[in-house]
Amino acid sequence: MKAAVDQNGNGDAVFNVKNYGAKADGKTDDAQAFMTTWIAACRNTSGPAKFLIPEGTFLVGPVVFAGPCQSRPITIEIQGTVKATTDITQYSSTEWISIEDIIGFILTGSGVFDGQGAAAWPYNDCKTNNKCQALPNSIKFSKVNHSIVDGLTSINSKGFHTTVFRCYNFTATNMNIMAPGNSPNTDGMHLSTSTLISISNGVIGTGDDCVSIGHSCEKVTVTNITCGPGHGISVGSLGKYKTERSVLDVLVQNCTLFNTTNGVRIKTWAGLVTGSAMRITFDNIVMDKVKNPIIIDQTYGTKKNKASKWKISDVHFKNIRGTSTTNVAVLLECSELFPCEGVELRDINLSYGGASLRNTTTVSSCLNAKIKTFGEQNPPACV
C-alpha cells in the first residue's frame, strides 16, 4: 500500500485525499475522505503540510477544514475538479466548504471548485420573500490570518462564491470566478469584519457584486480586477444589522467593468443602524457599457421614506472613463440626515453607450452631496 504521506521537493509533508479513501469517480461523496485528510495534515508536526486534491472529479458534500493547525503553513492544492453535491437539504450550514481558525494558510492550484448552482438557483426566492433561506456559499474563510489564495477558480456557486469573515492580512490573487449573469446572489468575493485585505489580478463575472466590501472592514485594496457580468464593485450594503462597524480605508484601482448593472458603488440601508464609510478611493476605472457607472445609493433596499444613518465622507472618484448605458452616468444619492461630505470627482469622462438614439447625452444627479471637482467633467458635475 502506498504511504499516506509523501514528501514533495520542498520538504512539505503531502497528504493526498486519494490515499485517505477519496474515490474521485464524480459519484461517491468524498466529503469524509476530505475531512480525514485534513485532520491528518492539520495535525502534522514535522513542518509545513500540503493537502492535495489530485487530478480527477471529486463529488463532495459540506466540509469543514478547521484549525488551529500544528503545521504552518498549511496548503490546499487543487489539481482536479471538486463538485458540490446538489441536494440542498444536506447543507445545515450556510457554506459548502468552510475554512476556519488558521494562521498561515495557502490555497493554490489549477483545479476548479464547481458549486453546481444551477440545480439550486430556482430555490432562491429572496426577491419576493423577506425571510428567504440563503443558499450555501461555496467557500467561507473565517478567522484565516496571514494567508494567501492564489489561482482560485470557482464556478456556479449556489450562493456567494467566496466570503471572507474576521480575517487579517488576507491576500487573494489570480482568481477566476464565473457564474451566469442571471444567477441570483452569486457574489464573487464578499468581505466583512476583516482588516488588511488585498484582492488583485482576477476575472470575476457573476449574477451579483463581483466584489462586495461589507461592514467592519478596514485597509482593503482591490486592484486589476476585470468584472462582468454582475452588479459591479461595491462598498456595502451597510446599515442593515446592529452589530455593524464602520468601513475605513478602501482603495479600488486599475479595474475594468463591462456589461454590469453598476460600476463603482457605495450602498447603505435606510434604517436604525449608524456608522460611517470614509477614506474610500476609486481610481483609474474603465467602464464598458455599464448601467450606473458611479453611484452612491443611501436608499438601498427601502421603499419607505426613511433616511440612512450612515455617514459617507472623504470619497474620491478619479480617472473614471468609458460608456454608460443610461443617461445618468453619475448618481450621488446621499442621506438627508447625514449628507455626503468631501466627495471628489476628478477627471471623469463617461459618454453614452446605450440603446437609445434619441437622447445620447449623459448627466449627473446629486442629492445631499457636497462635492469638489477637478479636471475633466463629462457629464457636467452637479452644481
Per-residue pLDDT of the chain (383 residues; tens, 9 = 90+): 344 677 776 668 999 999 999 999 999 999 999 999 999 999 999 999 999 999 999 999 999 999 999 999 999 999 999 999 999 999 999 999 999 999 999 999 999 999 999 999 999 988 888 888 889 999 999 999 999 999 999 999 999 999 999 999 999 999 999 999 999 999 999 999 999 999 999 999 999 999 999 999 999 999 999 999 999 999 999 998 889 999 999 999 999 999 999 999 999 998 878 999 999 999 999 999 999 999 999 998 776 678 999 999 999 999 999 999 999 999 999 999 999 999 999 999 999 999 998 999 999 999 999 999 999 999 999 97
Cβ 189 vs Cβ 164: under 8 Å:
yes
**159 occurs within a structural domain:** yes
Which pLDDT does position 9 carry in this prediction?
Answer: 62
Do 199 and 189 form a contact (C-beta atoms < 8 A)? yes
User: Is residue 328 in a domain?
Assistant: yes
Q: Is residue 136 part of a domain?
A: yes
Q: What letter represents residue 315's amino acid?
A: V
Q: How confident is the model at residue 17, as a pLDDT? A: 98
Domain that holds residue 160: 59-69+96-114+131-378
Return the number of other C-beta atoms located less than 10 Å from residue 7's C-beta: 12
Kindly report the CA angle at 25 between 19 and 27, in degrees rounded to 5?
A: 120
Whether residue 46 is contained in a domain is answered as no
Query: How far is Cα 151 from Cα 154, in angstroms, rounded to an integer?
Result: 10
Q: Cell digits for 15? A: 497528504
Domain CATH for 255: 2.160.20.10
- How many alpha carbons fall within 13 Å on the CB side of residue 38? 19
Instruction: Compute CA distances 255 → 12, 178, 210, 282, whole Å.
Output: 36, 17, 11, 9
pTM: 0.96
Please tell me the predicted confidence (pLDDT) of residue 129. Answer: 86
Cβ distance 192 to 163 under 8 Å?
A: yes
**SS3 category, 18:** helix
Distance from C-alpha of 138 to C-alpha of 313, rounded to nearest angstrom: 34
CA angle (182 as vertex; 177, 187 as ends), nearest 5: 40
What is the residue-wise DSSP string for 102-164? EEEEEEE-S-EEE--GGGTGGG--TTT-TTPPPPPEEEEEEEEEEEEEES-EEES-SS-SEEE
Cβ-contact 292, 264 below 8 angstroms: no
Residues with Cβ within 8 Å of residue 273, at least 6 apart in sequence: 239, 240, 241, 242, 244, 309, 310
Phi-psi region of 37 (alpha: psi -120 to 50; beta: other; left: phi over 0): alpha
261: in domain: yes
**Is residue 12 in a domain?**
no
Of 25, 21, 101, 88, the C-alpha closest to 61 is: 88
Q: How many domains does the chain have?
A: 1
Tell me what pLDDT residue 131 has.
82
**Residues that are catalytic:** 231
Does a structural domain hold residue 44? no
Q: Which amino acid is located at 4 in the chain?
A: A
Is 187 inside a domain boundary?
yes
Amino acid at 138: S
Residue 103: CA count within 13 A, CB half-sphere: 2
Backbone phi, psi, residue 22, to 5°: -70, 135
